[in-house]
Structure formats: structure tokens, C-alpha cells
Amino acid sequence: MKRPLTLDITRLLLRRRHATPTGIDRLELAYARALLGAQDRPVAFEAWVPGIGACGYSRAALAALLPRIEARWAAGEPSGIALSGLRPRVRREGEVRLLVSHHHLAELDRRHRPDAKTCVYVHDAIPADFPEYARPGGAEKHERRLRNAARFADGILVNSHATAASLARFLEARRPPLLVAPLGVEPRFAGAAPEVQDRPYFLCLGTIEPRKNHLLLLQVWRALAGGGDAPRLILVGRRGWENENVVDMLERSPAIRALVVEAGRVGDARLAGLVAGARAVLMPSFAEGFGLPVAEALAAGVPVIASDLPALRETGGDVPDYLDPLDGPGWMQAIRDYAAPGSARRAAQLDRLGHWSPPGWDAHFDAVLPFLDGL
């Protein structure tokens, strides 16, 4: 039996004002698109409004809103889109409520509805496992999210087996059904025209924060700066937290400023071109739950050099070159090799890439929808 589904779009409505999406935003957008297109089951949408609680959201209003959000994100422009479409919440017998962001998992205890099944998507356990990388108070908040998921959820979706393993310690007393459902890759990455720069460049995607290990890359580029043919490094992502050393190098080192471009937030259209033109996408993180930049780069036919982490190996398989995130000399040598014209090491990865297939949204929902119906 195909169950009625209600998708919580609170985060998506809030993020409509932002110029660029996160991976979690992309997932919630994909769920909204997929459920809007579902013709064979009852589907509804809801959002949590402060001071009011759960409200319904018009299907027609959402269908009109999504293309406008996507257009803004593609251009990298903050949105002035007015919000309309809220209406009274209608409860349906046998429905499954979907929360696919972490937006109010920490408050799920007071928003839980015993009259409906609840399925949540857990993207990682990183703040709980590595509190040293979180904002102040972030570890405690994320632990509440994970314990709420374990206590109240009737089903749990995760993006990787690595995330499932990290979540296991929170599921000791109660084990709801769990499904590994990797994120899909948007089609724009497969056919984008490469951005042309005046010298070869490497690309690093992600918020500038300690977990992403930008400091290693800046040390490598500081050492490369003495050569006249050194490649460029382009950083895509906003400045985050606890990153004083990185900011000092970006702002005060002449050698870094000559070779490293801090692009900040970049719209999806330009992002696809930047990925397509890179010698490689670099991901030297200390911890990841999935590694969407790995999948996006490989989908574009672009090599990846990444930290040797279970989640990244799960995403990239045997295609990327994997290195310890503390192995500075190894990263420097790999970057030198990949920057060289006719690089044999880069060519070898491109050959491996021919056997890799990107995760797709169709496969994602082919697995998720039967899982929801079985709750």
C-alpha cells in the first residue's frame, strides 16, 4: 500500500532567502521536487511557524516557488521571494511525516505526533563524534538530535554506511528501521563547460572551518609559491568558525594571495564550470558523512584527491587518490603530479573514472518510497 506522505519544508522555506544551497538544502529540494511529481499517492507539505506550530503549505504555491529558488541558487543571488501558501494543517490517517534536514530534530520531542509515522534523514554524527570541530554548543545540540531520532523516529534514512555506523551508539535502546540512501548528483555537473583560467587550478569546496582542513592546503600552496608555474587554488565556500589561522594566511601572506582565490559563495551555474575546469577537486577533510563534492566532481569527469575516510571511499570507490589528511608531503606531491601537463597519475584516475557511475535521485527514491510504505 502506498502511504500518504507529508514532507516538512521548513528549512527550504527559510533557505529561499540564501544565495547558495548546502548539501542538506539540495536534498530537501530534491524531495520536494519528487513528491510534487508523485501522481500515485497522497502527498502534502508542512512547515513549522514560530508561535503557531505546524502549518500546511499549498502544493500549487510550492510548485511555483521551487523554480524561483533554483534560479536564484543557480545565479548565486540572495532571494527576495515573498512567502505565500501557508494554510491549516490537515492530518491524514496512516501518513508518514518526513523530516529530511536536521532543522528541528533537536525539538522533535515536543513536535512528535503519535498519530503519524515519522521518518527522519540523518546526514552525519560529526558534531557528536568530533566536538572539537563544532561551534560552541554544537555537540550537545547534535546529540539531542540523534537521541531524538533514536527515541521518536519510526524510520531513519542516512546518506552512507559510515553515517549508519556513527549513529549506532545512539540506537542501543531502540532500533528503528534504517535505510542507507545516498544523495543524488544534479545533472548540471555532467555537461558543464569548463571555466578557463590563466593557469591550471585546483578546487576545494566547503565552508572554511577546521574539519575541512584548509590549513593543510594553504601550507602546501605557501610552499609551492616559489615556483613560477605553480597552479592556482580556488576556495569555494563561506568563512565559518574557529578559522583564525586560515584567515591570517589568506589575508596576510603575499605568497598565498598571489595563488589562492577565495571565491566565497558561488552560484550553481558557475560552480559547475569551476568543477569542470579543475585539474582536481581537493577534499582533505578530517571527517565527513558523505562527501557530495566527491560525487559531483567525478560526475563531471574531474579527478579527486581526498582524505582516506570511510565515507569518501564509499562515495568515490577506487577512483580518487586517497591520502592521510595529515600527510602534507603526500598532498604536495600529489598536487604537483596532477598539475603537470600530461600527468600520468591524473590520467590513471581518469581511466578508473570510466568505471564509476554517479548516484542518482531516481535510484534514491526507488529505494526510499518502498521503505516509507513499509513503516
Mean pLDDT computed over 306-317: 97
Q: Specify the pLDDT at position 335.
A: 97
Tell me, what's the pLDDT at 221?
A: 96
Q: Is the pLDDT of residue 64 over 80?
A: yes
Q: What is the pLDDT of residue 109?
A: 66
Cα→Cα distances 55→6, 16, 47, 84, Å: 11, 18, 5, 12
Q: Is the pLDDT of residue 81 over 80?
A: no
One DSSP character per residue, 21-70 reads --HHHHHHHHHHHHHHT--SS-EEEEEEETTTEEEEE-HHHHHHHHHHHH
Q: In whole angstroms, what separates CA 80 from the centre of its chain?
A: 24
pLDDT at residue 188, as a whole number = 82
Q: Rank 48-52, 54-58, 215-219 by mean pLDDT and report only the highest.
A: 215-219
Mean predicted confidence (pLDDT) in 337-344: 96
Residue 218 has what pLDDT?
A: 96
- Cβ neighbours around 261 below 10 Å, total: 15
Task: Calculate mean pLDDT across residues 139-158.
Answer: 92
The region of weakest confidence among 128-132, 140-144, 191-195 is 191-195
How confident is residue 113, by pLDDT bands cut at 50, 70 and 90?
A: confident
With beta carbons less than 8 A apart as the criterion, state whether 24 and 123 touch. Answer: yes
C-alpha dist (Å) from residue 210 to 131, 248, 321: 11, 14, 22
Provide the grid cell at 279. Answer: 585539474
187 contacts 225 by C-beta, under 8 angstroms: no
Residue 104's pLDDT is what? Answer: 77
pLDDT at 111: 65
Check pLDDT > 80 for residue 370.
Answer: yes
Is the model's pLDDT at 50 over the cut of 80? no
Q: What pLDDT is stored for residue 260 in this prediction?
A: 95
Share of the chain above pLDDT 90, in %: 69
Average pLDDT (292-308) is 97
